[in-house]
Amino acid sequence: LRQDLQPELARYKRCAYCENPLKFQDSHIDHITPVSKGGLGTLRKTVLVCSKCNLSKRAKILRRFCVDAGLNYETVIVRLEMVGKEV
């Protein structure tokens, strides 16, 4: 799955959550909706993010993660949709 997500990182070279620069070798796969909450491991439901965001998001829903991380939820949604994700 990680290899299949790599082309997205070529288009948008940043973490979709915090916008820090992101290299493929440092990226983590995040299930936008956690598996524990019904999320699927498909290309449209996963995204490459930085380790800091992935490790702090854990099993949180996206809105809760954004609040806890001080990120603008609506802006994150726009970035995810920009790279073709279903949110």
pLDDT tens-digit map of 7-31: 998 888 999 999 999 999 999 999 9
Rounded to whole angstroms, how far apart are CA atoms 45 and 85? Answer: 6
pLDDT tens-digit map of 36-73: 999 999 999 999 999 999 999 999 999 999 999 999 99
pTM here?
0.92
Helix (H) or strand (E) holding 47: strand 46-49
From residue 27, alpha-carbon distances to 46, 47, 85 in Å are 12, 9, 17
Burial of 85 (0-12, 13-18, 19+ CB in 10 A): middle
Strands 28-31 and 46-49: antiparallel
Q: How many CB atoms lie within 10 A of CB 61?
A: 14
- Do residues 12 and 85 lie in contact, with contact meaning Cβ atoms separated by under 8 Å? no
